[in-house]
Amino acid sequence: MSVELSPMILAIFLPLFGAIAAFIAPRAAWSIGLATLAATTGAVIWLARDVWAKGAVMLPLGGWGAPLGIDLRADGLSVAMLALTSAVGFLVSIAALDSLKDAARQRQYFWPLWLLLLTGMNGVYLSTDLFNLYVMIEVIALAAVGLTVLNGTRDALRAGLEYMYASILGALLFLMGVGFVYLHLGRLDFAGLAGAEVSGSLIAAMALMFVGLALKIALFPLHFWLPAAHANATAPASALLSGLVVKAALYIVLRLAQYMPFPSETLLTLVGLMGAGAVIWGGIQALRAERLKLLVAWSTVAQIGLIFVAFARAGEMGLTESWKAAALLILAHGVAKAAMFLAAGRIKDEIGHDVIRDLDRAPIRPTLAQFTFALAAISLIGLPPSLGFIGKWSLMEGAMAAGYWHWVAVTMAGTLLSVAYFSRVLTAFLRFDRVRAPVGEHQGWALADAAPLTLALAAIGLGLMAAPLLSFIEIGYPFGVAQ
Partner 1 sequence: MTPDLIYGLCGVAVFGIGLVGALCAQDRLRRVLALKLCSVGAGFLLVVGAWRTPPATPDPVPHALVITGIVVMVSATAVALALIRRLQSLEADDER
Specify the DSSP element, H or E, that contains 73: strand 71-74
Measured CA distances, 434 to 290, 351, 363, 382 (Å): 20, 16, 11, 31
| Contact status, residue 147 vs residue 241, Cβ threshold 8 Å | yes
Query: In Å, how far from its chain's centre is CA 204?
Result: 27
Q: Which stretch binds partner 1 (CB under 8 A): 29-37, 43-51, 176-184, 469-477?
A: 176-184
- H-type alpha helices, 186-264: 190-194, 200-217, 226-232, 235-240, 246-259
Query: Least CB distance from residue 180 to partner 1, whole Å?
Result: 8
Number of helical H runs and strand E runs in the chain: 19, 2
Indicate whether 131 belongs to the interface with partner 1 (CB under 8 A).
Answer: yes
Residues between 141 and 160 with contacts to partner 1, criterion CB under 8 A: 141-142, 145-146, 149, 152, 154, 157-158, 160
Indicate whether 98 belongs to the interface with partner 1 (CB under 8 A).
Answer: no
Is the CB of 44 or the CB of 248 nearer to partner 1?
A: 248
Select the residue interacting with partner 1 from 24, 172, 317, 401 (CB under 8 A): 172
Is the CB of 134 or the CB of 479 nearer to partner 1?
A: 134
| Contact status, residue 151 vs residue 278, Cβ threshold 8 Å | no
- Give the C-alpha separation, 379 to 150, whole Å: 29
Indicate whether 286 belongs to the interface with partner 1 (CB under 8 A).
Answer: no
Is the CB of 158 or the CB of 291 nearer to partner 1?
A: 158
Select the residue interacting with partner 1 from 138, 321, 397, 474 (CB under 8 A): 138
Residue 151 phi/psi, 5-degree rounding, is -80, -5
Indicate whether 178 belongs to the interface with partner 1 (CB under 8 A).
Answer: yes
User: Per-residue x/- marks for partner 1, 306-345, CB under 8 A?
Assistant: ----------------------------------------
Indicate whether 52 belongs to the interface with partner 1 (CB under 8 A).
Answer: no
| Contact status, residue 351 vs residue 366, Cβ threshold 8 Å | yes
Is the CB of 203 or the CB of 426 nearer to partner 1?
A: 203
Closest CA to 139 of 123, 156, 163: 123
From its phi and psi, is residue 60 left (phi > 0), alpha (psi between -120 and 50) or beta?
Answer: beta
Indicate whether 270 belongs to the interface with partner 1 (CB under 8 A).
Answer: no
Indicate whether 171 belongs to the interface with partner 1 (CB under 8 A).
Answer: yes
| Chain residues that interact with partner 1, rule: CB under 8 A | 131, 134-135, 138, 141-142, 145-146, 149, 152, 154, 157-158, 160-161, 164-165, 167-169, 171-172, 175-176, 178-180, 182-183
